[in-house]
Amino acid sequence: MKIFKRTAVMAAAFAALMLNGRPAAAVDLTMYYPVAVGGPVTKIIDDMVARFEKENADIKVTAVYAGNYTDTMTKAMTAMKGGQPPQLSVLLSTDVFTLMDENAIVPMDDLVTDKAWFKEFYPAFMANGQIDGKTWSIPFQRSTIVLYWNKDAFKEAGLDPEKAPATWDEMAEMGKKLIKKDASGNTTRWGVEIPTTGYGYWMLGALAIENGQKLMNEQGNQVYLTAPKTVAALDYWVDLSRKYNVMPTGSIDWATLRTDFLEGKTAMMWHTTGNLTAVKDGAKFKFGVAMLPAKERRGSPTGGGSFYVFKNASPEQRKAAVKFIQWMTAPERAAEWSIKTGYVAVSPAAYKTPVMTEYAKGFPQATVARDQLEHAVPELSVHENGRIYKFVNDAVQAAVTGTQNPQEALTGAQQQADRVLKAYK
């Protein structure tokens, strides 16, 4: 009878423990995550989340893969307006003004006690997320644009396979030698391809800064699309196909460009470093990675996504979200992420880890984007970002397809942007 009573008491105590302090009361986090480039990104994230949960049994993270960056932003905003937003998301670093305007996020300053953490990241990656003296995001899936070149094609064309073009003029001249045609005169290999769909504004930002022109002000309420150096940058882009004949005329698709490069249809391409590992795994030829060529200077806008914490998150969820973000961006994980994907590790400490040091010795291409950060500028980021991007992307399309010249296309985009941004001045 005593044994029975003792067992009953223990069972009752266990039941109370399960009700009051059970693991089921773990903090639940929903994270929207964009899958915008090639490679097994979802598997990598799932594995990292599982390892985090193993180390932190009181936190459960559900990763929701919501499509590309635009899709993810749209779904996050829709969920927020429907009363069920995620607690954290990886969204474009440039979405910050829109998220602030929608009152969707909280500054990281309110969530951490030791602000020294912010200084552990590369300043170039922090730039887009620091506004009005506050830090609104933490970099994670970050990139720059780099130039990939086919060393075998260079050798075949009589060019030094170890030397990428360092200037705009060099890229055009090398491109002419790299052109390959079949017996009927059809081009089977182009000299260079710069994608015009999806992220035309990003590529224009690169060309503009190489010509010495930024695309926006720090307040996010002014763009410089009709600045003479911006127009000249788009002129050069169009000239690559219509004057130098080293690039296809018309649109070049972001999503299929990597395949064109891997299949030998172009000897050079401009693309995100986030494709580096996929190119490394898929190339049947020797390839190089270089900083983008210069006109007045070297340069690329940064790109990619950062972690945001949404305002709806409870105090417990905010604390858990910060813990997860700190775990994901720790030097060891940042190095692992960079190696597995090609994205730039977000802190100098990541490049000093033994695993990254060893990897870079055997694959020096992995450090090119990091080195280019010295010349990097913030990506185009303003209020009403989605609308402004559409204006710029449409202008790029109009110019490369020949329906408008660069000056006309950019003038139209500038006028539209001015009307939208007037409310924020």
In the chain, what are the domains?
23-143+303-375 (3.40.190.10), 144-302+381-424 (3.40.190.10)
**CA pair distance 184, 11, nearest whole angstrom:** 85
Question: Given a cut of 70, is residue 222 above it in pLDDT?
Answer: yes
Asked if 288 contacts 365 with a C-beta cutoff of 8 angstroms, the reply is yes
Q: Give the pLDDT score at 15.
A: 46
Over residues 31-43, mean pLDDT: 81
Q: Is the pTM of this model over 0.85?
A: yes
Asked if 88 contacts 321 with a C-beta cutoff of 8 angstroms, the reply is yes
Over residues 67-76, mean pLDDT: 92
Over residues 125-130, mean pLDDT: 96
Asked if 294 contacts 374 with a C-beta cutoff of 8 angstroms, the reply is no
Over residues 39-54, mean pLDDT: 92
Identify the band that residue 21 occupies on the pLDDT scale cut at 50, 70 and 90.
Answer: very low
Question: Letter for the amino acid at 97?
Answer: F
**319: which 2 tokens?**
């604390």
Q: What is the separation, in whole angstroms, between the first and last Cα of the chain? A: 81
Question: Given a cut of 60, is residue 6 above it in pLDDT?
Answer: no
**CA pair distance 142, 92, nearest whole angstrom:** 9
For the ranges 12-26, 60-74, 393-407, which has the lowest average pLDDT? 12-26
Distance (Å) of CA 253 to CA 195, 198, 211, 285, 382: 6, 8, 24, 22, 25
Number of other residues whose CB lies within 10 A of the CB of residue 354: 9
Q: Give the pLDDT score at 36.
A: 61
Percent of the chain clearing pLDDT 90 (strictly above): 90
For the ranges 18-27, 83-92, 153-162, 272-281, which has the lowest average pLDDT? 18-27
Q: What is the DSSP letter of 214?
A: -
Q: Give the pLDDT score at 416.
A: 98
* CA dihedral angle for residue 285, residue 286, residue 289, residue 294, rounded to 10 degrees: -90
Question: Letter for the amino acid at 381?
Answer: S
Q: Give the pLDDT score at 104.
A: 96
Q: Give the pLDDT score at 196.
A: 97
Question: Given a cut of 50, is residue 7 above it in pLDDT?
Answer: no
Over residues 97-102, mean pLDDT: 96
**339: which 2 tokens?**
């190696």
Question: Given a cut of 60, is residue 112 above it in pLDDT?
Answer: yes
**CA pair distance 389, 200, nearest whole angstrom:** 8
Which of these, 171, 133, 141, 142, lies nearest to 154 by C-alpha position? 171
| Stronger pLDDT, 259 or 3, i.e. the higher one | 259
